Structure 1
């Protein structure tokens, strides 16, 4: 017999779980190709989580399975505590915003936002109220009577958001929605999206190949590789303590040095000297790689062009490139015949150096990350940011 207390408890649990997303061992194959490989993840109600990775890693396929546009070959998907495997996309408590906004060009902004409600035969008075509220959320009410062709790219993106939010979904899915915007507008919209999500408390599941977007907006980031999650953590952890060389190479820029494991696993011996870490240790492997971020390297002119500096975590080289990046100066240093090193210093404290100068680069041991040898690092050079 079910009591009123039991009913209230069940209702309370359901309300508290609204907006949660649980993926249990979901797999998706296309012929012999595994796009998503037994992926499991729990997203908390009101969380902003991003799937980050290069093209082909499975992030968009995962999003499409949550939305109901693709069906997993194995596993389960639960939204707000209920399995949705048997539910078509239009019956799931989610809405999706795509990179292509797909606004109806012949309808006004208000009519575009109202379209979904009208299809559900929502009363006209409620439609007007909810459309106004949604346009206010994205600061677009004054453009309600304009057509999409009369709007900028950023304004069209806001309309697409309003159209998704007007349905009051428990989960908003965003598939690279800022990809069509120029850099300045994209950065502005990143801030607006995060503020909007914080204000509404709606769960956001965001897909991007842009590490800057993921780092600046997300509560947690799922770094994907070959259909699996390589690391799931907050932005600080992913950046400062990457779980693998693959994550280290993908998030931010890294300089990788390949060599043999030395000093009981606390260092890597390379052709350019010993790279010692204060915080990492390798075991069970003969070969490893050390990673150092460009912003953690000091650079100075030197007259000593000896091949092997005596101190660990220091190398000699010749400057082959200098770039002004606004608030940062970037230096490209050649080490020997094959390896290059990227160094970045804040512009106010950056040394005045010229191409051809002999330089000394050094860094602290607590800025060295050690990993088992991984194909994610290109032997003998720095890793450029992966592209989609």
Structure 2
């Protein structure tokens, strides 16, 4: 294992058989802060031109990983390479990467064009080249018409575009984005998600995006690295992460889940206190404790006209205790017993007309169920059917 050093001033020559320009390789990287391990022997290869998101809750190591790629932190062990060159000990300004932060850090006394040109001026780029590159960067960010304005005269979304232009004007092989949309309101954030993905596709450069927002990661990424305790829990495309999570931790963090804890019985089912939940692909040992997961959008709900009937498999009876209108969907919160509740979501046009206090029956298909070892649920971070008051 390679140990980080800080004696280098220049980027070293490319390694034999070097990776393509824009490829990022994180090789068994570890980072400690005192006794705490922020990143734990992390290995990840990001392909040239890929849009990858590092997704996870606070403290999972995603921002530390980004800061090590940028050069603001040095790994205690392991190696980081960009375009086939090791970055160990290379200062941030000599790395072929640029970073966009949540706090855009624009100079308030400079115009938009001056902010974008600042980095090139520090590199003593010829004035004629600076002018052309600033115009190109502002065009990419759709901010050319605001070149003479000061940052205080811009909206939050416009300031974010200026920060992007300032990073792109240097023509980096890799663009690092540290929760850059976190300060925007919801509608603008969703608009910028589309714009960022379109911009990345047009430029073809590598984007490494750090976020705790699953919606951002799902909507933009070619692949998502779900991080947990300094390691990658799952690395896959959005469809796989959502539909086939590798663990209860991932299942709970990405989207919402209704979890049923119980004993695994013959036929691939969890016999919980409130429902016999079948999972046709289950492979857990009979007699072990399992955790069955069903997403709210797979749960149907209707008035229970036979409340005394015995429950069938993949069916749960309870009392409706909450109804929320989410626009395109209706959300129902159902109390199953003293220790658990359940969420169901139905498209608004076909949602049943139910009132709080109604007896309801919820059901779902066996193929909509995922089954995990119960010991993996301790750190699951999503909706885990909590007790109801």
TM bucket by the smaller chain? over 0.9
Q: Runs ≥4 in structure 1, deviation > 6 angstroms?
A: 10-13
Structure 2 unaligned segments of length 5 or more: list them. Answer: 1-13
Matches of 1:113 and 1:378 in 2, distance apart?
40
User: What SS is found at the alignment partner of 2:251?
Assistant: helix
User: What SS is found at the alignment partner of 1:17?
Assistant: coil
- Residue 94 (structure 1) aligns with: 97
Aligned pair in 2 of structure 1 residues 383, 281: CA closer, same or farther (>3 Å)? Answer: farther
| Deviation at residue 262 of structure 1 after TM alignment | 1.1
| Deviation at residue 278 of structure 1 after TM alignment | 1.8
- Residue 107 (structure 1) aligns with: 110
Would the aligned equivalents of 1:98 and 1:175 in 2 still touch at CA under 8 Å?
A: yes
- Residue 161 (structure 1) aligns with: 164
- Residue 243 (structure 1) aligns with: 246
CA offset digits 1:20-75 (Å, max 9, x no partner): 00001000001110000000000000000000000000000000000010000000
Would the aligned equivalents of 1:288 and 1:370 in 2 still touch at CA under 8 Å?
A: yes
- Once the two structures are superposed, the pairs formed by residues 170-249 of structure 1 within 5 Å of their partners are 170-249=173-252
User: What SS is found at the alignment partner of 1:118?
Assistant: helix
Matches of 1:312 and 1:62 in 2, distance apart?
45
Would the aligned equivalents of 2:341 and 2:386 in 1 still touch at CA under 8 Å?
A: no
- Residue 7 (structure 2) aligns with: none
Matches of 1:34 and 1:379 in 2, distance apart?
24
Aligned pair in 2 of structure 1 residues 103, 43: CA closer, same or farther (>3 Å)? Answer: same
- Residue 305 (structure 1) aligns with: 307
- Residue 84 (structure 1) aligns with: 87
Aligned pair in 2 of structure 1 residues 75, 17: CA closer, same or farther (>3 Å)? Answer: same
| Deviation at residue 307 of structure 1 after TM alignment | 7.7
Matches of 2:36 and 2:290 in 1, distance apart?
30
- Residue 295 (structure 1) aligns with: 297
| Deviation at residue 276 of structure 1 after TM alignment | 0.4
| Deviation at residue 337 of structure 1 after TM alignment | 1.0
- Alignment counterpart, residue 68 of structure 2, candidates 60, 65, 78: 65
Matches of 2:248 and 2:386 in 1, distance apart?
11
Aligned pair in 2 of structure 1 residues 165, 379: CA closer, same or farther (>3 Å)? Answer: closer
Matches of 1:285 and 1:85 in 2, distance apart?
50
CA offset digits 1:75-119 (Å, max 9, x no partner): 000100111102111111000000000000000000000000000
Would the aligned equivalents of 1:258 and 1:379 in 2 still touch at CA under 8 Å?
A: no
Matched, 1:329 2:326: no
- Alignment counterpart, residue 132 of structure 1, candidates 125, 132, 135: 135
| Deviation at residue 242 of structure 1 after TM alignment | 0.2
Which deviates more, 348-357 or 83-92? 83-92
Aligned pair in 2 of structure 1 residues 179, 285: CA closer, same or farther (>3 Å)? Answer: farther
Matches of 1:306 and 1:128 in 2, distance apart?
77
Query: TM-score, with normalisation over the residues of structure 1?
Result: 0.93
Matched, 1:357 2:370: no
User: What SS is found at the alignment partner of 2:334?
Assistant: strand
User: What SS is found at the alignment partner of 2:355?
Assistant: coil
| Deviation at residue 283 of structure 1 after TM alignment | 3.3
Would the aligned equivalents of 1:148 and 1:156 in 2 still touch at CA under 8 Å?
A: yes
| Deviation at residue 182 of structure 1 after TM alignment | 0.3
Aligned pair in 2 of structure 1 residues 141, 285: CA closer, same or farther (>3 Å)? Answer: farther
Matches of 1:141 and 1:285 in 2, distance apart?
66
- Residue 260 (structure 1) aligns with: 263
- Residue 274 (structure 2) aligns with: 272
| Deviation at residue 379 of structure 1 after TM alignment | 12
